[in-house]
């Protein structure tokens, strides 16, 4: 059964109130065609799990600028003035997570773990509302795993089965997020025949990918 769908069919699977992971660092590695189509649909009350809030006019930053997002779980919002303004005006909830912690929380979600222990954030605002655990005399914070209803992944190359390759830094959060959502939709810039992608170049195996969109 083919995994290929259109970008319009992809956004039909996204509804108000969903939690969505979107791969990318700023806009690098972000599935922009799907995001642009999602803006047209106009869903609301989304919870975004992303590395950053991108830009006001590109990538997932447009979703924030259009006030389609109720909460962002992220490590950085400084590149998007709309996100900063909405956060300061208490129109948008932002959960700040250190970047390495964010990546590990997503990895735990994909691995079926409940969370992990880290000293990062001890004695700072990051610790608020979290459990402190002592192991062998050393304190750690319990950081809980993150999962989402849908993950939107940006790939450089996909074969027809959905095995994905990410060129250079486009890899960023994409491989982790592809394991940590109930539905994974990948947008590929290039599609090749199955068997043409060398095994050593497969960063995300097809088993994790539910649907494919040709950019």
Instruction: Give strand pairing partners of 92.
Output: none
Tell me yes or no: is domain 7-97+146-214 CATH 3.40.1080.10.
Answer: yes
Question: Between the CA atoms of 86, 94, 126 and 19, what dihedral angle is there, to the nearest 10 degrees?
Answer: 180
Domain locations in the chain as residue ranges: 7-97+146-214
Taking alpha carbons only, the member of 181, 132, 135, 188 closest to residue 160 is 188
What is this structure's pTM?
0.93
Residue 180 carries which DSSP code? S
pLDDT digits (tens, 9 = 90+) for 128-161: 999 999 999 999 999 999 999 999 999 999 999 9
What is the sign, positive or negative, of the torsion defined by CA atoms of 8, 16, 99, 132?
negative
Q: What is residue 1's predicted lDDT score, i.e. its pLDDT?
A: 76
How many residues belong to the chain? 215
Residue 181 in 3-state DSSP?
Answer: strand
């Amino acid at each position: 059964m083919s995994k290929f769908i259109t970008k319009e069919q992809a956004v039909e699977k996204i509804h108000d109130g969903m939690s969505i992971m979107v791969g990318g660092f700023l806009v690098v590695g972000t599935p922009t065609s799907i995001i642009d189509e999602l803006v047209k649909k106009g869903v609301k009350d989304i919870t975004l799990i992303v590395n950053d809030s991108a830009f006001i006019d590109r990538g997932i930053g447009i979703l924030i600028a259009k006030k389609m997002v109720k909460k962002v779980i992220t490590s950085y919002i400084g590149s998007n003035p709309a996100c900063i303004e909405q956060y300061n005006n208490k129109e948008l909830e932002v959960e700040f997570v250190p970047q390495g912690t964010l990546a590990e929380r997503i990895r735990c979600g994909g691995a079926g773990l409940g969370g992990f222990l880290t000293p990062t954030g001890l004695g700072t605002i990051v610790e608020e509302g979290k459990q402190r655990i002592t192991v062998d005399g050393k304190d750690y914070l319990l950081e809980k795993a993150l999962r989402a209803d849908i993950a939107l992944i940006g790939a450089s190359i996909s074969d027809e089965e959905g095995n994905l390759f990410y060129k250079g830094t486009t890899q960023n959060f994409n491989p982790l997020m592809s394991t940590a959502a109930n539905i994974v939709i990948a947008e590929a810039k290039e599609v090749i025949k199955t068997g043409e992608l060398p095994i050593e170049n497969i960063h995300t195996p097809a088993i994790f990918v539910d649907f494919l969109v040709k950019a």
